[in-house]
Amino acid sequence: MKLVLSAVCCIALGSVAMAAPKKPAAGAPMTDQQFVNFAAQTDMVEANLGQLAQNVAAAQPVKDYGQMLVTEHTKDFGQLNAAAQQANLTVPNAIDTQHDKTLIKPMEKLKGAAFDRRYTQEMIAGHTKAIAVYKKEAADAQNPAIKSYAEQALPVLQQHLQGAKDLAKSKSSAKGK
């Protein structure tokens, strides 16, 4: 009886795993549409959080960094739209539920120095991830317009990452004073 029950459980679990949507294998290239979706979410989230930083951050450098992200990610969103249009791909025009629930909403609850710390951490993590994805797309994109967009966006993302790291360093050196 135990053997039959074990077999039924294994079959049921296998069926559930097979019904789950397949994610690309780790290291497998994204499709150009998946990349466009990722890039659009990145731009919209960064601009949204940059606006939030201007309103609730305690430190002026954090507010200034937020303003820079609003400006540059808004500009980038326009460049992404142009590249996607050339490639006949669609660009999402709203932040998805996952980013809203796991990043935007929690950040909206923070103010002052607590916001500054978390925002800086999120910008380092987010830009590090974005750079890795953009590098992969710059190498693997199927469409030349998307490949060119990814290549051109990379140096800007790298500047954003360095800016976030500089904010983190200035915060930690300010604590030591």
pLDDT single digits (tens) 140-156:
999 999 999 999 999 99
Which stretches of the chain drop beneath a pLDDT of 50? 1-25, 173, 176-177
Range of the domain at 134: 30-175
Any domain includes 4:
no
Q: Is 133 part of a structural domain of the chain?
A: yes
Instruction: Note whether residue 5 is domain-resident.
Output: no
Inside any domain, residue 9: no
Q: Is residue 151 part of a domain?
A: yes
Residues forming a β-bridge with 112: 57
Could you tell me the CATH number of the domain that includes residue 66? 1.20.1260.10
81 within a domain of the structure (yes/no): yes
Percent of the chain with pLDDT over 90: 79
Residue 24 included in any domain = no
Task: Answer whether residue 146 is part of any domain.
Answer: yes
How many independent structural domains does the chain possess? 1
